[in-house]
Amino acid sequence: MNPAMRNTMHSAPAPAAPKREPSLQAERLSKSFLSGVVRVQVLQELSISIYPAELTLISGPSGCGKSTLLSLLSGLQPADSGTARALGEDLSKLNKRALERFRLKHTGFVFQGFNLFPALTAKEQVQLPLGYLGFDDKRSAARAMQALTEVGMTHRANAYPAQMSGGEKQRIAIARALAKEPELLFADEPTSALDADNGQKIIDILHGIARSHGTTVLCVSHDPRLVRHADRVLAMEDGTIRNDWQPSGHAPVRPGRAALTAEQHS
C-alpha cells in the first residue's frame, strides 16, 4: 500500500468531543447598591460561563462582590442590567413564584453559618425540603439517609445541631442541599467557620458531588486552602473576573476548553 495512503487511513480525524452547555451564565451582569447617598457599583458588566460536573471556586478580596454574584446567578437577587441564566433559563423572566419553584427544584445552598433548625434532628433537617417537593415520609426518609451516607453522617442521624461539631453541622447542611439532587449547588464560604481538617472534608465532599452527580458546584471563598481542590478558579476583583484558571493536577472536565494551569497562572 502506498505509505501516504496508509498514513491517511490512520490519521482519520478523531470524533469531535461532545459540546457541553454551560449550566450558569452571566452576560454583562451589573449590580449596584445604595450606601447612604452613594451608589456603589458592585458588579460591572461581568460575563462568565460555568459548567456542570465541576467545582468552580470564586475567590477574591472581601467586598469584591463574590456573594452578590452568587445571589444573582441563583436568582436570590435581580441584576440591574445584563442576564443571569441558570440551566438555560433567563432568571429575570421568571416571576417570584416561578423563581421560588426553580430554586426549590434545581438548586441547593450551603452557607458559612450552616442555617440548621435547632429543634430538628439531622435526618429531619435533610428531609424537610423534600417534603416541600411533595415526597411522602417514607421516600424522604430513604433519600435523607442516602444523602447522610454520602457525607458520612448516618451515625449522627438522630443528633440535634447543639450536639454536633461545626464540621458535622456543615456536612448535614450539605446533605440537606444534596438530598434534592439539585443540578446546581451554591456554597458561600462553606469552610470559613471550620478548622483545616474539617474544611478539607467539606471541600472533598463538594468536589465528590460535582464529579459523581454531574452537579454544578459554585463555591465562593477566600480560603486559600480550597484553591488546589477546585477544577476552576475565578479570581474576582472590582466587580469583574480578573483571572480564570485551572489549578494543576485536575484534568479538564470540559472538552476542548483552554484554561490556564496553575503554573501559567503563577
Ligand X SMILES: Nc1ncnc2c1ncn2[C@@H]1O[C@H](COP(=O)(O)OP(=O)(O)OP(=O)(O)O)[C@@H](O)[C@H]1O
Q: From the list 50, 53, 54, 66, which residue makes contact with ligand X (rule: CB under 6 A)?
A: 66
Q: Report, in Å, the least distance between residue 15 CB and ligand X.
A: 42
Q: Report, in Å, the least distance between residue 31 CB and ligand X.
A: 8
Q: From the list 24, 26, 29, 42, which residue makes contact with ligand X (rule: CB under 6 A)?
A: 42
Task: Say which entry of Mg ion, ligand X, none residue 222 contacts (CB below 5 to 8 A, set by partner kind).
Answer: ligand X
Q: How far apart are the first and last CA of the chain?
A: 50
Q: Is 158 helix (H, G, I), strand (E, B) or coil?
A: coil
By CB under 6 A, residue 35 contacts ligand X: yes
Closer residue to ligand X, CB minimum distance, 183 or 189:
189
Question: Running DSSP on this structure, what letter comes out for residue 113?
Answer: T
By CB under 5 A, residue 67 contacts Mg ion: yes
Pairwise CA distance, residues 182 & 236, whole Å: 26
By CB under 6 A, residue 65 contacts ligand X: yes
**b/e for 9-46, b at 16 or more Cβ within 10 A?**
eeeeeeeeeeeeebbbbbbebbbbeeeeeeeeebbeeb
Task: Say which entry of ligand X, Mg ion, none residue 125 contacts (CB below 5 to 8 A, set by partner kind).
Answer: none
Closer residue to ligand X, CB minimum distance, 2 or 35:
35
Q: From the list 7, 17, 21, 40, which residue makes contact with ligand X (rule: CB under 6 A)?
A: 40
Q: Is 97 helix (H, G, I), strand (E, B) or coil?
A: helix
Stretch in the footprint of ligand X (CB under 6 A) among 5-13, 22-30, 33-41, 208-216 = 33-41
Pairwise CA distance, residues 54 & 181, whole Å: 15
Closer residue to ligand X, CB minimum distance, 60 or 190:
60
Query: 93: which residues sit within 8 A by CB, 6+ positions away?
Result: none
Pairwise CA distance, residues 105 & 177, whole Å: 11
Pairwise CA distance, residues 245 & 59, whole Å: 11
Which positions touch ligand X (CB under 6 A)? 33, 35, 40, 42, 60, 62-68, 222
Which positions touch Mg ion (CB under 5 A)? 67
